[in-house]
Amino acid sequence: MVSERHNELRQLLQGLAESLDISDAQYEAAVKHYEAVGDWLSKDDSPIVVHDPQIYPQGSFRHGTMIKPFNDADKYDIDLVCELKALKKENVTQKQLKDMVGDRLKANERYRKMLEEGKRCWTLQYADSARFHMDILPAIPDDEINGIAREIGANLAQSAILITDRELYNWQRSNPVGYAEWFKERMRVQFDAKRMLLAKSLQASVEDVPEYKVKTPLQRSIQILKRHRDIMFKDDQDGGPISIIITTLAARAYDNEADLLDALQNIVNKMPGLIGRVEQGNALVANPVNPLENFADKWKRHPELKTKFYEWIQQVRVDLEAALRAGNLTDMIESLKPRFGDRIANEALEKAMSTSSKAKSLVPSAPRKLTRFNAPHRQPPLWPVRQSHSVTVSGQVKSNGDWNGFSSDSTPLPKHLDLLFRANTDVQRPFNVFWQVVNTGFEAERANGLRGEIVPSKTAGVGGLTQKESTLYTGKHWIECFIVKNDVCVARSSEFVVNIQ
């Protein structure tokens, strides 16, 4: 029988992974941009159109394992291949191939301003508001695949490509399409099952459900492992295990478990044993669609990378065990914060609490009588409310660089101003702080910004007793603070009303 702690940690891990996802809007924007690049490369007047240019994604964007950057200032990295399908190796050099793609990109005034050259790729640096850049890898088909085909099968081998590298004389081999197919096959059972369930919930056919909307425990596990690595090696970014090693070993270890925690524990336990050995005991993590490529080849020249990999995987085990030993859901998330970051962990707790059977079973308090606050999207309290103490909320608004206090239900404020709310309570520590923001009006509804959920405090200020917001939508909105002790709401503020022009 699965323990309550197991279920709680599984819910938290699911919330962590979901919080690491890029949004549907970001995904669709990236697809729109790379399709536009493809259209430019293949226009009738393009000098390379005779070579049948095809552009397609590779890496985490294609595998469904992309995660948000750890730092809000960083950009998403979208990896693309520009394959000139009709061009042969004997008719072009690496430099010529790279220049052909680069010259066509430079012929577009917009792309020219965004373009940067790398060792292998051309990079398009989109505006900060888009928060991503695209690495475009020039490639041609690899026609010398007979040896590889015997090893991995003709279906996977036929998508092999040759890629440019200005620092290496010989053409380099790759096969991102074949790798993606291999990766998908490793999770086929769960992928098909989840896609079918999603189609049923949407009352749509399976074929109408976009593949990027389906996330298996394998993909979620990889997202969690990558963020754990990012934070553990935040001061040693070159020392952490590279994503392709994590993805390959995790996919090999995955046994199509339906439960996320079971999958993650199995993956973490099996990964070290899946690292092979080659001559002189060097580590081997073979590319499953190109056995001649060793993803761990750098470990031979830098043995410290191998040591750091084993230290990291052991730390993941330790952190999962510590979370399972936690006394309650709050302690569990506190144990995970150092490894995943406060913001992502708090979002995960919010998601877990919204689905927790324990939270759902708690008896809600009676609704307040003030009818103007009875919004249908306003979540009722998650705990019994026994107001044995008090909590009050005050507000400040930042205008022209200065912070000034303002009162509840006062004169409407302009849009795009920063707000800071402070709670003052007589409850003795320890306690947990939750906030609820409820927006109303057409603008908020149209922007899917009505909110209304009760969420754990996301700011560390004064032990969570501060909450940062901003003025975004015209209308009447309000914020409340809840002080929870021993799973009981012992203090609840009145609604602090914010009017916005």
Q: What is the pLDDT of residues 452-501, one digit of tens each?
A: 899 988 877 778 899 999 999 988 899 999 999 988 899 999 889 999 98
Q: pLDDT band for position 73 (50/70/90)? A: low
State whether 342 and 231 are in the same domain. Answer: yes
pLDDT of residue 365: 40
Domain assignment present for 75? yes
Minimum mean pLDDT range among 137-141, 384-388, 474-478, 484-488: 384-388
pLDDT at 387: 81
1 pLDDT band, cuts 50/70/90, is very low
The per-residue pLDDT for range 3-59, each reduced to its tens digit, is 678 888 998 999 999 999 988 888 888 899 989 999 999 999 999 999 999 999 999
pLDDT tens-place string over residues 100-114:
999 999 999 999 999
Same domain, 63 and 154: yes
Whose tokens are 């339906």? That residue is 258
Q: Are 95 and 117 in contact (CB under 8 A)?
A: no
CA dist 422 and 392 (Å) reads 8
How many domains does the structure of the chain reveal? 3
Question: Per-residue pLDDT for 380 more than 90?
Answer: no
Task: Indicate if 111 and 53 belong to the same structural domain.
Answer: yes
Average of per-residue pLDDT values in the chain: 87
pLDDT at 134: 92
Average pLDDT over residues 238-260: 95
Q: Report the alpha-carbon distance of residue 393 to residue 498 in Å, rounded.
A: 12
The yes-or-no verdict on residue 364 having pLDDT over 50 is no
200 domain-assigned = no
Q: Is the pTM of this model over 0.75?
A: no
Question: Which tens digit of pLDDT belongs to each residue from 289-315?
Answer: 988 789 998 999 999 999 999 999 999
Pair (327, 372) in one structural domain? no
Query: Does 367 or 169 have the greater pLDDT score?
Result: 169
| Residue where one domain finishes, among candidates 289, 324, 358 | 358
**Residue 165 predicted with pLDDT over 90:** no
pLDDT band at 356 (very low <50, low <70, confident <90, very high): low
pLDDT for res 355: 60
Q: What is the CATH classification number for the domain harbouring 116?
A: 3.30.460.10
User: Is the domain of 145 the same as that of 248?
Assistant: no
Contact 491, 391 (CB under 8 A): yes
Same domain membership, residue 313 and residue 394: no
Q: What is the pLDDT of residue 366?
A: 39
Of 11, 68, 18, nearest to 260 (Cα)?
Answer: 11
Strand ranges across the sheet with 466-470: 402-406, 391-399, 418-425, 466-470
pLDDT of residue 128: 65
Across 312-336, average pLDDT: 88
In this predicted model, which residue has the larger pLDDT, 448 or 266? 266
**pLDDT at residue 220 is higher than 90:** yes
Question: Long-range contacts: 18-25, Cβ < 8 Å, 24+?
Answer: 18/348, 18/351, 19/68, 19/344, 19/347, 19/348, 19/351, 20/67, 20/68, 20/223, 20/224, 20/227, 20/344, 21/66, 21/67, 21/68, 21/215, 21/223, 22/66, 22/68, 22/76, 24/213
Asked whether residue 146 carries a pLDDT value surpassing 80, the answer given is no
CATH number for 389: 2.60.40
* pLDDT of the residue at 2: 47
Last-in-domain residue among 181, 196, 224:
181
For the segment 398-446, what is each residue's pLDDT rounded down to a tens digit?
A: 988 899 999 888 888 999 999 999 999 989 988 999 999 999 887 888 8
Instruction: Verify that 429 and 317 share a domain, yes or no.
Output: no
Long-range contacts of 155-162 (CB under 8 A, 24+ apart): 155/181, 156/181, 156/182, 156/289, 157/289, 160/289, 160/290, 161/81, 161/83, 162/89
What sign has the CA pseudo-torsion 146, 151, 157, 161?
Answer: negative
**Which one has a higher pLDDT value, 245 or 172?**
245
SS3 call for 223: helix
Give the pLDDT of residue 237.
Answer: 85
Give a yes or no: residue 187 inside a domain. Answer: no
- What range defines the domain where residue 402 resides? 365-500
Q: Same domain, yes or no, for 8 and 79?
A: no
Distance CA 208, CA 193 (A): 15
pLDDT above 70 covers what percent of the chain?
93
Establish if 189 belongs to a structural domain.
no
Examine residue 51 and state whether it is found in any structural domain, yes or no.
yes
**Which of 332, 382, 379, 328 is CA-nearest to residue 353?**
382
Q: What is the mean pLDDT of residues 57-84?
A: 88
